[in-house]
Amino acid sequence: MHDYVFIENMANDVTNNNMNYGDDNIRTLEGVEHIRLRPGMYIGTLGKGDDPADGIYVLLKEVVDNSIDEFSAGFGKQIQITVNEKEATVRDFGRGIPLNSVVKAVSILNTGGKYDSKGYKKSVGLNGVGLKAVNALSSHFYVEAYRDGMCSYAEFAAGKLVQDGMKETKEKNGTYVKFIPDENLFVDYSYNLEFVESMIKNYSYLKKGLTLNLNGTPYISKNGLLDLINEKMSEEPFYAPIHISGEDIEIVITHGNSYGENITSFVNGQNTRDGGTHLVAVREAISKTLKEFFKTYAKKDFAPEDIRQGIIGAISIQIQEPIFANQAKTKLGSTYMWNQVIENEDGTHGYDVGPTIRSFVNDFVKTTLDNYLHMHKEIIPALQAKIQSSEKERQEISSIQKKTKERNKRTSVYNKKLRDCKYHLKDKLPAAKEDLREQTSIFITEGDSASGTITKARNAETQAVFSLRGKPINSYKESRKKIAENEELNLLINALGLEEDIDDLRYNKIIVATDADDDGMHIRMLVLTFFMKYHPDLIRRGHVYILQTPLFRVKNRNEVRYCYSIEEKDKAVKELKTKVEITRFKGLGEISWDEFTGFIGKDMRLDKVRLSDEEPLADIMEFYMGENTIDRQIFISRNLRSAQELEDVNI
């Protein structure tokens, strides 16, 4: 089997502050052992299944991607998928893995059929790694390949081969995979079928003619990305969606009343939730093309940010051998449509480099979108009116913000509310640590006590603190002009760097940190409503989080435990047994700053705020922040624990 050499420095080899480095430090990892040792290198976050980016969904995607690649190559029009809480199966009707290569294909790194780009010219699956990662990270993995009346099968446990063989079969050609993610790695995990369904729907939109059957329900699309946009829109668009497509590219765009931009992106069928070079290219191309069109057509010179405000759309491109910026394949890093090594006539090697993704997308949009507008002039008035409305509002807001900013400078309010991190004070940051952009975060909290605690406990190099004064206004009920005139939210916009464009965001993570009581929950919802309505891209791009802090401290003479729920508290009391002392934290300010350091360090508990494409944004805000309804009262009573309830527990 293929060997992977791994050099290990063990802490217990340290003697007299010197590392004893010899032959015993060299280990040879066989098969897929390295994947089990370093799973994050291959699938990103492990998780428990409560986030669509968690590892168990990456494993499922790796299997389905291989079946999608078979369909794209012209083999098999149906994929059958079953998923329960712990187990998943995938059956396709493609060509099937070559029978004598089944074991190698799922257990030996750098073995696969996609390297030369002949069998799979525009593949999603990662060359030579996908099924190996699934196998390595599963407590049980079983595969069958069917070809011309014969079946080759193999069974593995934690990446180790248990049995394999060959037998006759009446099954149609294709591949069957069953796996159970290893609970030693994915602790307390379970599949969320809503996330799985969303994944399967996206596959159907991107692969017209393919039927994906999930737990007995078929998913098939006739109109590709147009079906996706029509289904995800929760508001009436200003004009019928523009649907344009060509070789290796498909785009749908329209405009709605929501703020920000909502463009879903795909590469070779892969949902790139974090965007990448293709999303940057299409944003630029749409802005540039519409700007030039209206210059000629209406003698109007619109700013790109006004053109993109409220845009709803999707882009899908097909490229050869895509390079992703992360193992989860959620962000495209490729610069070119293809970039392949070729052998010259004299035996030397060179590169066959295609057009850049930027130029490819720009040329397509420039020609096709311009032609579309000239052929469908009925949509031009609505499109122009929307852009002009965004322009007028932006200019009004800009004027208000400028005045507010000058006033804030004079009163020094801004400096009092924001305790910035050293990353943004370059003269105080060591030159060697200027690459910490991804680690920067800002805590949004309320009150002097809580903000003071977090300020003392934070890592001042990368963590900033913004202190709210009381409850912010309900943004759902207010106009954008009213928001711009509000000092509290205006200062927050300024602190985050959102005055012009989301690309100017100063922090990678925005962390809402409020007390775990009714008032804290209300403040949290008011802040999230502000982001959802006026800066939804912050949430769509994964920048917004909620800080989880302990409700109780349970200790005896020998041990201290911090508990985040009544259930955790009860368990701790039972296990610590005698002379147990319980402290109920009523607010962030009641936790000492030295204790708080442990809650916002490397083990910080964060809940990422998500916006699902299947959940209409307007409906979400209406439910939580609109008129008080019986449904909301019932929801709160069932899901939120009040301060009184926490006080009444047996401590």
pLDDT, tens digit (0-9, with 9 covering 90-100), for 285-338: 999 999 999 999 999 999 999 999 999 999 999 998 888 877 667 789 999 998
Q: Which pLDDT does position 449 carry in this prediction? A: 83
Alpha-carbon gap, residue 562 to 554, rounded angstroms:
6
CB atoms near residue 326 (< 10 Å)? 12
Please determine, for residue 115, whether its predicted confidence score (pLDDT) is greater than 80: no
Residue 281 three-state SS: helix
CATH class of 42-217: alpha beta
CATH number of 412-549+585-648: 3.40.50.670
pTM for this one? 0.76
Q: Which residue type, as a one-letter code, is found at position 597?
A: T
Question: What is the percent of the chain with per-residue pLDDT over 70, rounded to a whole number?
Answer: 82
Sheet containing 150-157: order of strands: 160-168, 150-157, 138-147, 174-181, 88-92, 78-83, 211-214, 217-219
Q: Which pLDDT does position 172 carry in this prediction? A: 96
pLDDT, tens digit (0-9, with 9 covering 90-100), for 356-406: 999 999 999 999 999 999 999 999 999 999 999 999 988 888 887 777 666
Tokens 């290990």 sit on residue: 8
Q: Which residue type, as a one-letter code, is found at position 464?
A: A
Residue 312 three-state SS: strand
Residue ranges covered by each domain of the chain: 42-217, 225-389, 412-549+585-648
Average model confidence (pLDDT) across the chain: 83
Q: Which pLDDT does position 424 carry in this prediction? A: 78
Q: Which of 171-180, 476-485, 618-627 has the highest mean pLDDT?
A: 171-180
Q: Which pLDDT does position 121 carry in this prediction? A: 52
Cβ atoms 444, 511 nearer than 8 A? yes
Confidence at 648, pLDDT banded by 50, 70, 90: low
Cβ atoms 257, 282 nearer than 8 A? no
Question: Which CA distances in Å does 143 have to 56, 175, 322, 542?
Answer: 18, 7, 27, 35
pLDDT, tens digit (0-9, with 9 covering 90-100), for 27-69: 445 557 778 877 877 777 888 898 888 899 989 999 998 999 8
Does residue 251 or residue 485 have the better pLDDT? 251
Cβ atoms 115, 129 nearer than 8 A? no
Cβ atoms 540, 533 nearer than 8 A? no
Q: Which pLDDT does position 110 carry in this prediction? A: 56
81: β partners: 90, 214
The one-character DSSP state at 238 is S
How far does CA 291 lie from the centroid of its chain?
31
Cβ atoms 106, 118 nearer than 8 A? no
Dihedral sign from CA coordinates of 427, 432, 436, 437:
positive
561: β partners: 554
DSSP assignment string, 355-385: -BHHHHHHHHHHHHHHHHHHH-GGGHHHHHH
311: β partners: 255
Q: Which pLDDT does position 57 carry in this prediction? A: 92
> What are the phi and psi torsion angles at 183 (to 5°)?
-70, -10
Q: Which pLDDT does position 259 carry in this prediction? A: 85
Tokens 């882009």 sit on residue: 315
Q: Which residue type, as a one-letter code, is found at position 208?
A: K
Q: Which pLDDT does position 354 carry in this prediction? A: 86
Alpha-carbon gap, residue 278 to 335, rounded angstroms:
9
**Regarding the domain delimited by 225-389, which CATH topology (the fold level of the hierarchy) does it fall under?**
Ribosomal Protein S5; domain 2 (3.30.230)
Segment among 117-126, 155-164, 254-263 with least mean pLDDT = 117-126
Does residue 80 or residue 536 have the better pLDDT? 80
Does residue 507 or residue 118 have the better pLDDT? 507
